[in-house]
Structure 1
Amino acid sequence: MKNNFGNMDTAIKAGELLMTEKPFAYVLSSKEKGFRCDNCLQKLKVLKCTGCQFVHYCGRLCQRDAWNEHKWECANLKRVAPKIIPDGARMLAKIINRLSRGDGYTYHAFYSPISFRMWKDLMSHYPDLKNDKKRMDHFTSLCVVLFEFLKDISLPNTVELMGMYGRMVINSFTILDTDMNSIGTGIYLASSIIDHSCSPNAVATFDGKTINIRAIKDMPNLDWNQIRISYIDLLKTPYERQTELLENYYFLCECDRCIDETQLKILHAAKCPNTKCDNPINIPWKENCELVRKPTIDNKDKQSKQNGVVSNEQNIDPKNPTENGDTVRDVTEIQCSTCGTKCTQKFMDVFKKAMEFTEMHLQNMKGTSVAYVDVCKFCLEKQEGVLHPLNVMHAQTLDHAFDALIQVQLWETACVYAERLIPCFRFYYGERHPLLGLLHLKYGKILLYKMDLHRALEQLKFSENILRITHGDRHPLYKDQLLPLLSQAMLES
């Protein structure tokens, strides 16, 4: 683990490395088993461990490097074979082993020359955990597995074990590959000091199992109390983000971005019927559709006459129900605040059906590794001319569609969707985010393949400006993937 700043008063520039750290404990995702090395996490040709026949290594160097951590697990995995140990149980077992046999209780992870974090410093949220039925059920199932798996280690008592489990689930980082896909989970003691914001000033990226924290905004000095990363995906409504944070981390996010009226007006907005106007219009489409959680109910009865609201529920007229049970305001009340164009009943009906159709299919695709090209295209056809270009459901559909089109190599349509997706990513992720840089990189690569050299070079330069800040010039994504493409585009153009 390394902190590059000895002087805490040093001004921080965007792109500077704040911290790099090896994991206290980690586990490769079971879905990557047989495809990646369990030590370096690289996607290479791998061979099974001759002992347990469960973990894989890319060579003897990685096998030797991992042996001190793997030797106890190897015997246990061999004993319970052919049973597969769940990722959560393996992770908790590794933590128990390090705490009982190694330096787990004394290990210091420094984030400044004199400040450090230890295992005991991690929050377990024990009271919240006890009231969380879903997690308690998960904990109980893990205990059953651990009792059979760890025959050679005396398990801690239930209270202590629950504290370990709480520290694990609250402080775990999802380890990402160069394409920002999840490949594992790790506990990083020093990095766990960083709090969440939906408008972060730093970003966590990974080089194998090593986490790197980099600034994405200029700061007057390095104050760890002010460093923020995002714990979750930001391409969601504030309500969805807040719900995810409450369920997983037990706090309600009240950052400026979650209550930003400008964004709230756009999240579920319709496009103005006037084709020359790009102003968002809020049309209630679903009963009790909340866009943001508020800690206190203030000014609930105060309804802005401007387009866009905190919750669609506030715009519902209970005296005017539609045939399927939802409610809408009188059509004469809904008009563009910029150009004055009124929304017809037909326009409102089309908008509502497009939103309902999109919501259903996004829910069906949620959690799946494959998005369906035809479904995405059908959703986008229904959204055309009705949903605002920055509507969050429109953005999510474009995101699914772009990835699906790349998988089936429909390059022409992928380019069309990439152009429409870039403004969405800028709006929801910000100007300096790894996913935006990766989008420009993928788009530029497609354009280069199509020999559209001028546009390819433009997109790759956009990507370079972002990834140099978020990943640094030594990261494999930057030096091994982006720079060769950028050099090729410059030479050929």
Structure 2
Amino acid sequence: MTLQRPSLRTVFTEFMEDLHSALNDRGLTVTILPEKGRSLFTTRNFRPGEEIISQEPYVCVPNNSPVESRCDRCFASINLKKCSACKVAWYCSSVCQKSEWKLHRLECDALARLDKDRHKSVTPSIRLMIKLFIRRKLQSEKVIPMAATDNYKLVEELIDHMSGIDEKQLVLYAQMGTLVNFILQWPGMNVKEIAVNFSKLACNAHTICDSELRPLGTGLYPVISIINHSCLPNAVLVFEGRTAVVRAVQHIPAGAEVSISYIETAGSTMTRQKTLKENYLFTCTCSRCVKAQEDEIKESAILEGYRCRNDQCDGFLLRNSDDTGFTCQQCGLVRSKEDIKNIASKIKSISDEASTSLSSQSYAEALFMYEKVEKLQRILCHPYSISLMQTREKLLKISMELENWTKALTYCKLTISVYQKLYPGIHPLLGLQFYTCGKLEWLLGHTEDAIKSYTKAFDILRITHGTNSSFMKELLLKLEEARAEASYKLSSTDDE
């Protein structure tokens, strides 16, 4: 009697059934939408702050560079030792090294064969792809376990957008695929499949960040990748170590689609759409993007346009029909095109110098230059201008490097008012800005103000970050210490 192998269709059906079963236990299901493809929907209600889903990376890699390295396992940056064989991977402890050994053993052998010049070509993206095929091999050989939410079949089902990629990018993927094939030297490797997977990573990999949203590395989370984008999402993706966690930022009823934002949403609809098209090859149709044309024009004019010549007016400007200048839509004053062009030219020139100073870590010089830029932008840009906000963010960071806490606090407060307009609802960046404000106020002895800022930060971040991470426990501790300090000051005053 000859045993028949199950067909690919049968295998896929079983895979989907297993995935649906695993997600159903979490109150979720996968639905195919004609315009979006696979989408994640709820089968029960989720409260704000409640974890919707979490996933370990199928593969991940730290963003190592010549100036900074991180542990391959936990992304720590202290007590690191380089793998003595491949001289590429770093580990912070024997525990992390042992836990990664099954995966790294094959990678290590492959990398150790490379000459010095080839080593320079092993970027984080190349390593991520190498790890992807090693993990597939080890799971198929049952060396490491496989589960419904942790297997290569999920990677195969990811969208690749190969048909929408230009020829230059296709050639690059082919070159990268050839390099991966050369490094692994496995029989039966398919360069085309590797190239397709690079396209999948471009559309589906996530930047792994710490609790303060500083990038640490890149990871592939195939189940998380099912979640679609919205510029006004009902959930947020954060990381606890290298674990991806999606939490509801508003009440999500049963039967609703779960959405997160793939991009920085502080921008006009036109800018957001351009970013999504270039990086993810789709056009967003969320409620924030589908708006009347006049509303879209106003949004662009405020976030990316110019301010009125009257300092007391906060109206937005639109280009004149004869293209000679811009008219304030509130008071009717006109700014000449030449005036705007001259100021913009000065800003560009000084910004280039400031950027050079910042790159060379000449912080005092960079502060001086960016303050000149900020002064000119206040004359040129609308008060809610993103460019002005970004300059103030730079000034905040530089002031903190120079330990000029008073100046840092001034710029932090200036950014918060813009954050509140740009990030509707609960957003981690707004919470983190309140957290920074609280730290600065406490350093300067403004305890009551620090309590208010820490409280606002906690109210936002407990929803986006949960309450169990070390970062959130530290925030709560700071809030309690500030309250205790304020209480002590009050009692001391009463005693007098």
Q: Tell me, yes or no, whether TM beats 0.5.
A: yes
Alignment match, 1:72 = 106
Alignment of 1:126-137 (within 5 A): 126-129=162-165, 132-137=166-171
In the TM superposition, residue 405 of structure 1 has moved relative to its aligned partner by 1.9
1:50 aligned onto 2:84: yes
In the TM superposition, residue 363 of structure 1 has moved relative to its aligned partner by 7.8
d(CA) in 2 for partners of 1:368 and 1:241?
Answer: 28
In the TM superposition, residue 189 of structure 1 has moved relative to its aligned partner by 1.0
The answer on whether the counterparts of 2:73 and 2:100 sit within 8 Å (CA) in structure 1 is: yes
Amino acid in the other structure paired with 2:123: P
Alignment match, 1:232 = 263
Alignment match, 1:295 = none
1:328 corresponds to which of 324, 329, 332: 324
1:411 corresponds to which of 397, 405, 408: 405
Q: What do residues 383-406 of structure 1 show as CA deviations (whole Å, max 9, x unaligned)?
A: 224422111221222222222222
Q: Under a length normalisation based on structure 1, what TM-score does the superposition of the two structures give?
A: 0.80
The answer on whether the counterparts of 1:52 and 1:75 sit within 8 Å (CA) in structure 2 is: yes
Alignment match, 2:10 = none
Alignment of 1:8-407 (within 5 A): 8-31=42-65, 35-80=69-114, 82=116, 83-84=119-120, 85-103=122-140, 107-110=146-149, 118-129=154-165, 132-151=166-185, 153-154=186-187, 156-221=189-254, 223=256, 226-258=257-289, 260=291, 261=295, 263-282=299-318, 284=319, 315-317=320-322, 327-329=323-325, 334-337=327-330, 340-343=331-334, 345=336, 349-358=338-347, 365=355, 372-407=366-401
In the TM superposition, residue 240 of structure 1 has moved relative to its aligned partner by 2.8
Query: For the structure 1 residues 360 and 180, does the alpha-carbon distance in structure 2 shift closer, same or farther, using more than 3 Å as the test?
Result: farther
The answer on whether the counterparts of 1:4 and 1:18 sit within 8 Å (CA) in structure 2 is: no
Amino acid in the other structure paired with 2:159: M
The answer on whether the counterparts of 2:316 and 2:328 sit within 8 Å (CA) in structure 1 is: no
For residue 206 of structure 1, give the secondary structure of its aligned residue in structure 2.
strand
Alignment match, 2:6 = none
Alignment match, 2:26 = 5
Alignment match, 2:37 = none
1:443 aligned onto 2:410: no
Q: What do residues 22-47 of structure 1 show as CA deviations (whole Å, max 9, x unaligned)?
A: 01111111228864221011233222
Alignment match, 1:423 = 417
In the TM superposition, residue 375 of structure 1 has moved relative to its aligned partner by 2.9
The answer on whether the counterparts of 2:181 and 2:189 sit within 8 Å (CA) in structure 1 is: no
d(CA) in 2 for partners of 1:60 and 1:172?
Answer: 28
d(CA) in 1 for partners of 2:367 and 2:307?
Answer: 24
d(CA) in 2 for partners of 1:4 and 1:487?
Answer: 37
Q: What do residues 216-244 of structure 1 show as CA deviations (whole Å, max 9, x unaligned)?
A: 11122263xx2111111123333332222
Q: What do residues 429-454 of structure 1 show as CA deviations (whole Å, max 9, x unaligned)?
A: 22311111111111111111111111
The answer on whether the counterparts of 2:344 and 2:380 sit within 8 Å (CA) in structure 1 is: no
Query: For the structure 1 residues 78 and 429, does the alpha-carbon distance in structure 2 shift closer, same or farther, using more than 3 Å as the test?
Result: same
In the TM superposition, residue 104 of structure 1 has moved relative to its aligned partner by 9.9
Query: For the structure 1 residues 6 and 360, does the alpha-carbon distance in structure 2 shift closer, same or farther, using more than 3 Å as the test?
Result: same
For residue 451 of structure 1, give the secondary structure of its aligned residue in structure 2.
coil
Q: What do residues 110-158 of structure 1 show as CA deviations (whole Å, max 9, x unaligned)?
A: 49xxxx97222111112123xx23422421331342233113x236323
Alignment match, 1:303 = none
For residue 271 of structure 1, give the secondary structure of its aligned residue in structure 2.
coil
d(CA) in 1 for partners of 2:146 and 2:479?
Answer: 43
Worse-matched range after superposition: 234-243 or 447-456: 234-243
d(CA) in 1 for partners of 2:172 and 2:359?
Answer: 22
The answer on whether the counterparts of 2:173 and 2:199 sit within 8 Å (CA) in structure 1 is: no
d(CA) in 2 for partners of 1:103 and 1:209?
Answer: 24
d(CA) in 1 for partners of 2:175 and 2:220?
Answer: 21
The answer on whether the counterparts of 1:107 and 1:119 sit within 8 Å (CA) in structure 2 is: no
Task: Give ranges in structure 2 of 5+ residues lacking alignment.
Answer: 1-21, 29-41, 487-496
Query: For the structure 1 residues 411 and 62, does the alpha-carbon distance in structure 2 shift closer, same or farther, using more than 3 Å as the test?
Result: same
Q: As a proportion of its length, which structure holds more helix?
A: 2
Task: Give ranges in structure 1 of 5+ residues lacking alignment.
Answer: 285-314, 318-326
How many residue pairs get matched? Answer: 436
Q: What do residues 275-326 of structure 1 show as CA deviations (whole Å, max 9, x unaligned)?
A: 44433333x4xxxxxxxxxxxxxxxxxxxxxxxxxxxxxx452xxxxxxxxx
Aligned CA-pair RMSD: 3.0
Give the % identical residues.
Answer: 26
The answer on whether the counterparts of 1:216 and 1:469 sit within 8 Å (CA) in structure 2 is: yes
The answer on whether the counterparts of 1:17 and 1:212 sit within 8 Å (CA) in structure 2 is: yes
In the TM superposition, residue 368 of structure 1 has moved relative to its aligned partner by 6.8
d(CA) in 2 for partners of 1:59 and 1:204?
Answer: 28
Amino acid in the other structure paired with 1:136: L
d(CA) in 2 for partners of 1:123 and 1:23?
Answer: 18
